[in-house]
Amino acid sequence: MPRAACPKCGFNNPGGRNVCELCGTATRAEGADGATAAASVGRRDFYTEQTSNSRRSMVLLACFVLLVVAVAWVLGELGGLGPAGLLLGLAFGSIGAVSAYYSGDRMVLAASHATEVGADREPVLHNVVEELCLAAGLTKPRLYVIESEAPNAFATGRDPQHASVAVTRGLLRKMSREELQGVLAHEMSHVRNLDVRFATLVGVLVGTVALMCDWFWRSWRFRRGSRSTGSAGALFLILAVLLAALAPVASVLIQMAISRRRELLADATGVELTRNPHALASALRRIAADPQGLEVANRATQHLYIVNPLKASGMDSSALFSTHPPIEARIRILESMT
């Protein structure tokens, strides 16, 4: 089926859809004679974008929780654990999350070969961040530089009091001050919106689903039909098999959708801090077009960066498993803001 580009953000939606999957804009409208015509697109402010993306993030999270509850209930009933299946799944899924929550930022910074820099070494970087901290009412984060010519940046830390922002040498060299401010405002917005904490919660749910489904498959050989006898038991077993097979994929899809929403939310919040959407749009365009590769990035850290650093590996940024929305869509949304 042919795909139709959204008139606002440019995202290629499946043919026949009347609302853009990415930005929610009406893509087609019915005329008086029943013919369809492209809908007119009005300009939106950053408050509208923030509200929309926050709401959709919470809807996705609610769907995720329902998926976890459904998997835990079905597998727990089949295995004779009942509601205890949900509690056990959440308990095991939380173990790794607690470790990541308190030490994940240090591991990410070390893996990225980031070096902390003071105001004496990078005065412009510190000055811009201090301005943004005043605008956002945040504690100044620790600042790091990655010695790579590929322009990029990321933020990490469980809360504003334990936040760190890392930028590459290429970002400092290749961006104007306004573009640098736009990028750093985006990263400070991740800190302000508690996105690392949000991602940790989502990670707990993904881990919980994976553990429960793995438990189901490993214990398959030991099942002796106490709950799988009769037509009702057979249907219950079929439902459990379908959930165990599809739930891990569905959980990752929801996780990626949430990640894309939080990126759009950080874009809108960054504009609130700077009141300059065109600076961030220009920075995104230049980062995406830069030919340099970021060697220290990998699949475990790609979601942290403002632009996916693995774009050169041929990944489709509009795919369902992408951590970031398409760059073209982000730029068009920013340029439509007032």
- Which DSSP string do the residues of 163-215 spell out, in sequence order? -EEEEEHHHHHHS-HHHHHHHHHHHHHHHHTTHHHHHHHHHHHHHHHHHHHHH
Confidence at residue 138, expressed as pLDDT on a 0 to 100 scale = 93
Please confirm, yes or no, whether 187 is among the known catalytic residues.
yes
**pLDDT at residue 47 in the model:** 61
Average confidence (pLDDT) per 10 residues, the chain, 338 residues? 60 65 58 37 61 75 77 69 58 61 82 96 97 94 97 92 96 97 97 86 78 75 52 72 87 89 94 95 95 90 92 53 90 88
Q: Model confidence over 254-311: pLDDT tens digits?
A: 889 889 999 999 999 999 999 999 999 999 999 999 999 999 998 888 999 999 998 6
The 3-state DSSP class for residue 142 equals: strand
Give the closest residue to 192 by CA, choosing from 109, 103, 270.
270
Q: Residue 93 has what pLDDT?
A: 56
**Residue 240, both tokens:** 């459990």
The angle that helices 230-274 and 277-289 make with each other, rounded to 10 degrees, is 110
Q: What is the pLDDT of residue 313?
A: 43
Residue ranges of domains in the chain: 1-42, 48-338
The pTM (predicted TM-score) of the whole model is 0.76
For residues 168 and 156, the answer to whether their CB atoms sit within 8 Å is no
Q: Which residues contact 216 (CB under 8 A, 6 or more apart)?
A: 75, 78, 79, 240, 244
What pLDDT score was predicted for residue 31?
Answer: 40
In this structure, are residues 271 and 178 in contact, taking their beta carbons and an 8 Å threshold?
A: no
Model pLDDT, residue 63: 80
In the chain, which residue ranges form alpha helices assigned H by DSSP?
A: 46-78, 84-111, 123-136, 169-174, 177-192, 195-218, 230-274, 277-289, 327-335
Cα angle 93, 95, 98 (rounded to 5 degrees) comes to: 110
Residue type, 145: V
Cα 63 from Cα 58, distance rounded (Å):
9
Among the options 187, 263, 272, 328, which is catalytic? Answer: 187
**pLDDT of amino acid 35:** 36
How does strand 164-168 pair with strand 142-146? parallel
Radius of gyration of the chain (CA): 22
